[in-house]
Each structure stands twice: as structure tokens, then as C-alpha cells.
A and B are shown apart, each in its own frame.
Chain A
Amino acid sequence: MTGQLSIAKALNEALRKSLESDPKTVLMGEDIGKLGGVFRITDGLQKDFGDDRVIDTPLAEAGIMGTAIGLALRGYRPVVEIQFDGFVYPAFDQIVCQLAKMHARALGHVKLPITVRIPYGGGIGAVEHHSESHESYFAHTAGLRVVTPSNAHDAHWMLRQSIESDDPVIFLEPKRRYWDKGEVGDDPMIPLHSAKVVRPGTDATLIAYGPMVKVCQEAAAAAEEDGRRLEVVDLRSLSPIDFATLEESVKRTGRGIVVHEAPVFMGIGAELAARLTEKCFFHLEAPILRVGGYFAPYPPSRVEETFLPDLDRVLDAVDRALAF
């Protein structure tokens, strides 16, 4: 299976392998059958596995989530596709009140091995409700696992690991990277919930996940031209968070900058900044800084570039961190 694949194709292959390896795995979602999903992530799967395994659903997100829970209670392993980030809210109760809590409420007697795939984030010129980053809501909810890949290899293996997990996993797909290609190896390399240093450096640590990893890698490359060696850590998992890897990196570089698309206020970056400050205080040369979206609804696409962190905003934060 090794070779250059787009993230979309890597995900498609992961779903195929999961359907092949476990007859209890079923896919559910709107338009995932003949159409192959609006992003074609499930392309060809219904043809090969049948409409009993790749299930087109009515247009009802709470219904999709709620019935997936019922199927899991019956012993199935549903992989749910939410068509776009902004459409997950109608399923919010089913995810945060039902899916997240049922295992604990039953004192461990039932398991809900459900993976909820959600394309998320902006940068594709979409209309309202098609560009949102809602990871904080889910990461804030105990009982859910939340992960997001940034490249084709991780997309493939993290999805397979998520489907194999006996816990519910919110699997966030960086939709503007769907068509980015990369090598997909035949070994996951690391556990699902480990962060990964994707570029070593010494002067500051850029912490990012999903769509922002590429921006940070580009920023690090640009900074290198000015003689600044930035380390880039791909968080990969938002619940749990691999703080050990982050702490090790920030203690070494003395500076940390968190970058995400979601609004900075109450975002994942707030948690990281607080935690790293607490754990790395005497190693820090500067406060942990955050770069992210503004505290505003995701804007119309003609101005989304203003909202989304870009190379300049990341490098500006690097300047501020290094100026301390």
C-alpha cells in the first residue's frame, strides 16, 4: 500500500481496510453510497461492500448519530460521516450527552466503538457552515477521543487506529488538505495519541494540528532563511493530548507558539498555554503565545484569509516570542 496518496485517497483506503478486516464495521452517512460522499472519501466502497455495510442515511444528523449508537449497542462498529463541520451541531446532544457518557453510565458494561468523521476547517472558499473548527467542544467533553491528522500517512493510519478503538473517536479531517499528497507507509509508526516532532529546531516550538501543520512547516522553512531554527510539533491528538512530547520540546527551546484555525478564545491553545506554563515555567524565555481565529463567526469566504492564521501571522508571533 506504500506510495504517494492524497489524504482523501489515504482515508478511502483506510475505510476499505477496516471494512475488509472486521465484518462488524459499517459506514453511515449522507450521500456516502453511490456518490462516494461529497468529498469522495467513501468512493467505490458501497459498490464493493454493499449497501448493508456502506449505508446511505436520511438527511438527519442526530438520527445518524443516535442510530449509530444503537448499532454499536447491538455489537456493530459504526463509522459515521458528518458531511460538513457546521452540520454536526444538530447531532450535538447525541455526541456529547449520549455517545460520550454511556460507557461510564453503564459502569463499563457497554462499549461504543464509534468513529465520527468530520471534515473541518476553512480555506476552501465555502459558504456559511462549511468551514468551522469545533474541536474544543469535543475535546472538552470527557468520554470522547479527538484526533486530527495533517498528512496522508497519518490520515490513513490514525483512521484505522480510531476505528479499532473501543472508545468513541471524533476524527477531524482537515478538508483543505484532502488533495495534498504524501507517502503512506505500511506501519502506523506511533500510537494514535502521540504527538510528533515533524521538524526539529532549537529556538522556539510551533505547536499545530490538522490544517495548520503545513502552515507552520512553511513558516519554519521561511524563518530558517533568517537563521531561526523553529521546531514544529504536530499534535495529532486533542484528547488526550501528548503533553510529554510538548513539554520536552518547549523546555528545550524555551518558547512555545500554538497555532490553530479555531478562535483563540477558549480554544485548544488556551489549554496548551496554561498547561505548558505550569509545567515548563522555569524553562520559558517568553509566555506561550497563541495564533488563531478571531472571536467572530467564521467569516464570508472573501475575507477568510484574514481570519485564518497564515505565514505572516505565525512569523509575527515568532518575532514577539523571540523579543522577550
Chain B
Amino acid sequence: MTVKSTARARKKAAPSVPDKQAGSGAAPELVQLLTPEGERVEHPDFPLTTTPEELRGLYRDLVLVRRFDAEATSLQRQGELGLWASLLGQEAAQVGSGRAMRPGDYAFPTYREHGVAWCRDVDPLNLLGMFRGVNHGGWDPNEKNFHLYTIVIGAQTLHATGYAMGITKDGADDAVIAYFGDGASSQGDVNEAFTFASVYNSPVVFFCQNNQWAISEPTTMQTRVPLYRRASGFGFPGVRVDGNDVLACLAVTRWALDHARSGQGPVLVEAFTYRMGAHTTSDDPTRYRLSEETEAWKAKDPILRLKAYLDKEGLADEAFFAEVEAESEKLGLRVREGVRSMPDPDPTLIFDHVYSEPHTLVDEERAEFVEYAASFEGGEHH
């Protein structure tokens, strides 16, 4: 499959590559459409028109996603979840990119993309099964085109690329988005994904949430050049976007997905953001980073800046904010009750789905286990 024939086979509606962003010269500006103060600004390469309703929708997404995340963190503290990987601070990167997707597009997340899952309409309770320890994922990825969480860093970028290669073969005009972090940029898999996506001209957007920290290692431990500039070495455009600006994330990702789906190959988007909390609930960021840094990022909060904009422009009234708040309370309650009533799986789950066709050794061990369990009084295996 040559790049030329692939490009020919696929729909052509090519938006141009913004040279400023693709080049490897001086660091370009961060693409920003909404300042931390809530001022709407324009960027020549990434125009965005939004209706007041869309803006309110994005605000609602940000608030509900943050609420879901906070609830999960609390549930971990209360012993209901074994672990939680919080997205606090990264809501705009996830909601902006998630809302840029079309229904036919496919997302391959790491394990922190709760906001993207929200945009794909995945039931938030599905995300908690793994962290509660009742499954290793469990949802049907094809139902909402949102793949299972992947723990091994960067492995999913190759799955995303292969899936994108399949889209090309099908002659479809869908695109794929692969999420990963700044730490993952050091992994071989991610670099191999860049190579494959580039040489096969695959419709995949690599969406790097550079949240500045890979557990305790700063981004400077992963790279000596700005991450978005990696792309030029692989032969495709890279863009750095303000990851705390939901409008910029939406505009840039929408452009990148269109670029990919129109047969022009992959794009790397680096969402420059910050992990406000710990890596996971097992982590203690006070051991490796300064509170001044966290405070400085607090001033760039994605929700506050959108709210400031909505207020300033009179795009939402008090009734709207109250309504979102009420919805947030409702979501919190649903998550809390949902997790607490989540049943432990039957122990025979161990043997389910190891293979899709019968496998004599698994069948044999299952039979032995069932017999062993039945040997206890009452015949129950609890």
C-alpha cells in the first residue's frame, strides 16, 4: 500500500497544514482561543465558531467530568476503590478533544481519559470497575468507539495506529485518536506508532496530554525538545495547544481529525496542561514538586476561564449554573451509589473469556475449581 494510492483512495477535502505549527524552527505560540482571564482571542490557523448552546454544553461537560473525578477520588479514600487516577486539571484537554470527535471516530485512551469517555457517552460507572477490582475493563469498546483503558504506557498508540490502518483499507473517512502522556513519549511503542502512522499515512491523531509530570519525573526527563516538535522528525505536523483551554483543544483537535480523515496522514497534538493532583491516589506529589508551581497552574483553571467568558458575554444565566450544579449533585450520587452496589464478580469469572473458543486446560481447571468449591458446606464458593 503506497502513500499515494492510500491518499487517492480516501476522500479528499484537505484543509491546509498550518506551516507555523508544523515547522521545526522557533517554538511557535501556544494555540489559545480563551485566555486564563476568560478573554476570547482568535488564532489565524484555528478559527472556531461556537453557539452559546455549544459553549454551555462544554461548560457542563467540564463541571460534570470534574465532579465525577472528585467523587471517584473520594470513593478511593473511603475504601470503595483500590486506586484512582485523577484527571483534575486536564478536563479541557479531554473534553475539547473528545467533543471534536465524530461518531465514527475511535478513541484509544490510557487510564486517565475519564473526560473523553464522558464525551463518548460511556457510562462513568464502567470506568470504575477496574479501579474497584471487579474487572479489567469490561465494557464493549465497539459500542461507543472507546477502547479499554491501557495500563502499559504507550502500548495503545500502536493499537490506534493499526485500527487507523484498517480504516484506510476500508476506504472509510473516519479517524482515530490515541491518547498518551509526556512520559509515554519516551516509550518505543509510541515512536513505532509514529513511524507506522507516517509511512502508511494513517488517519490517526496522537493526542499527548503533557501534564508536566510522569509520576515524579518532569517532562525534562523525557525530552530535550518541545514534544510537539517530535512530529516533524516523523514527517507529520505537530501542534502545541493550551491544554487548559477547551475551545483551543476543540478547534485544534477538530482540525487534526479532519486532516487525518481527509487522507493527509497523522497529526501530533501536544496539549500543554497540568496534573493538579497526584499521579494516582497512591502517589504523593509533595515529595517532588513545589506548591508554587501548582498554584501558578491553578490560575489557568479550565473551568473558571470558561465561566468567566460565559459571565462576561452574558451567555449563561444563574439558572443555567444552578442547573449544572444540580446535575453535578445527581451525578455524584449516582456514582457513589453505583460503586457501592457494584457486585463482586462470581469467582468463576477467572475462567471466562480467557479464550473465545474452548481450551481444554482452562475448561479442566474450571471444572476442578467448581468441584472444589462445591465440596464446602452449602456448596458455595465464598
8 other contacts beyond A58-B196, A66-B157, with CB at 8 A cut-off?
A58-B199, A60-B196, A62-B192, A66-B161, A71-B169, A74-B166, A94-B158, A103-B356
List, in ascending order, chain A residues with CB within 8 A of B148's CB.
Answer: 102, 105-106
B166 & A71 in contact (Cβ 8 Å cutoff): yes
Contact yes or no, A70 B162, CB < 8 A: yes
Please name all residues of chain B whose beta carbon is closer than 8 Å to the beta carbon of A26 when the two chains form the complex: 169
Cβ distance A81 to chain B, nearest Cβ, rounded Å: 16
Q: How many residues of B contact A (CB 8 A)?
A: 46
Shortest distance between the CB of A66 and any CB in chain B (Å): 2
Contact of A52 among B139, B150, B157, B169 (CB under 8 A): B169
A51 on interface, CB distance cutoff 8 Å: yes
Binds B, one of A107-115, A123-131, A248-256, A311-319: A107-115
Closest chain A CB from B129 CB (angstroms): 10
B249 at the interface (CB under 8 A from A): no
Residues of B close to A102: CB separation below 8 A:
148
**Contact present for A71 and B163 (CB under 8 Å):** yes
Nearest chain A CB to B106 CB, angstrom units: 8
Q: Complex: how many Å from CA A319 to CA B256? A: 70
Chain B residues within an 8 Å CB radius of A69: 158-159, 162
Return chain B residues, CB-CB under 8 Å to A94: 155, 158, 189
Does A106 contact B166, Cβ atoms closer than 8 Å?
no
Cα distance A167–B155 when bound, in Å?
Answer: 20
Q: Which residue of A lies closest to B9 (CB)?
A: A52
Chain B residues whose CB sits within 8 angstroms of the CB of A239 once the complex forms? 359, 361
> Taking beta carbons and an 8 Å cutoff, which residues of B are in contact with A?
1-2, 135-143, 147-148, 150, 152, 155, 157-167, 169-170, 188-189, 192-193, 195-196, 199, 352-357, 359-362
Beta-carbon contact of A93 and B152 below 8 Å: yes
Chain B residues in 8 Å Cβ range of A167 = 355-357, 359
Take A60-B195, A62-B192, A66-B192 as given contacts and tell me if A145 and B160 are in contact as well, using a CB distance cutoff of 8 Å: no
Q: Please tell me if the beta carbons of B195 and A110 are within 8 angstroms of each other in the complex.
A: no
B353 A104 Cβ-Cβ under 8 A: yes
Q: Are A105 and B354 in contact (CB under 8 A)?
A: no
Q: Which of B1, B155, B165, B362 contacts A51 (CB 8 A)?
A: B1
A181 CB, min distance to chain B CBs, angstroms: 32
Query: Is A175 interfacial (CB 8 A cutoff)?
Result: no
On chain A, the residues within 8 Å of B167 by CB distance are 74
Residues of B close to A98: CB separation below 8 A: 150, 152, 155, 159
Partner of B1, one of A55, A67, A108, A193: A55
A166 contacts B by Cβ under 8 Å: yes
Task: Say yes or no: A76-B362 contact (C-beta < 8 A), given A67-B196, A143-B355.
Answer: no
Query: From B176, which residue of chain A is reached at the shortest CB distance?
Result: A70
Q: Does A165 contact B (CB under 8 A)?
A: yes
B190 to chain A, nearest CB (A): 10
Contact B141–A66 (Cβ < 8 Å): no
Task: List chain B residues, Cβ under 8 A from A110.
Answer: 140-142
Are A142's CB and B362's CB within 8 A? yes
**Cβ of A200 to closest chain B Cβ, rounded Å:** 24
In the assembled complex, 13 residue pairs joining A and B whose CB atoms fall closer than 8 Å, in A order, are A55-B1, A62-B158, A62-B188, A62-B192, A63-B158, A68-B162, A73-B141, A105-B137, A109-B139, A143-B355, A167-B356, A193-B360, A240-B359
CB-CB nearest in chain B for A243: B360
Known interface pairs A71-B165, A107-B138; A58-B188 also in contact (CB < 8 Å)? no
State the CA gap A107–B359 with chains docked (Å): 16
The answer to the question of A40 belonging to the interface, with a C-beta cut-off of 8 Å to chain B, is no
The reply to whether B162 and A108 form a contact with Cβ atoms under 8 Å apart is no
Of the listed residues B162, B166, B170, the one surrounded by the most CB atoms of chain A closer than 10 A to its CB is: B162
Q: How far is the CB of B2 from chain A (nearest CB, A)?
A: 7
Cα distance A281–B117 in the bound complex, in angstroms: 55
In the assembled complex, how far is the CB of residue A222 from the closest CB belonging to chain B, in whole angstroms? 34
Is there an interface contact between B136 and A105, defined as CB atoms closer than 8 Å? Answer: yes
Smallest Cβ-Cβ distance to A51: which chain B residue: B1
User: Which A residues are in CB contact (< 8 Å) with B192?
Assistant: 58, 60, 62-63, 66
Q: How far is the CB of B186 from chain A (nearest CB, A)?
A: 14
Given A103-B355, A108-B352, A73-B159 contact (CB < 8 Å) = yes
**Given the contacts A60-B195, A90-B188, A98-B155, A107 and B166 also touching, CB distance less than 8 Å:** no
For A66, A166, A243, the residue with the greatest tally of chain B CB atoms inside 10 Å of its CB is A66
Q: With A62-B189, A69-B159, A239-B361 in contact, do A107 and B196 touch (Cβ < 8 Å)?
A: no
Q: How far is the CB of A75 from chain B (nearest CB, A)?
A: 7
| Cβ contacts under 8 Å, A145 to chain B | 355, 359
Q: Which residues from chain A contact B352 at a C-beta distance below 8 Å?
A: 104, 107-108
A137 to B121 CA separation, bound complex (whole angstroms): 39
In the complex formed, the residue of A with least CB distance to B359 is A240
Shortest B147–chain A CB gap in Å is 7
In the complex, the answer to whether B355 meets A109 with C-beta atoms within 8 Å is no
Name A67's closest neighbour in chain B (CB-CB).
Answer: B162
Q: Determine whether A97 belongs to the interface, using a CB cutoff of 8 Å to chain B.
A: yes
Residues of A within 8 A of B354 (CB): 103-104, 142-143
Q: Is A301 an interface residue (CB 8 A)?
A: no
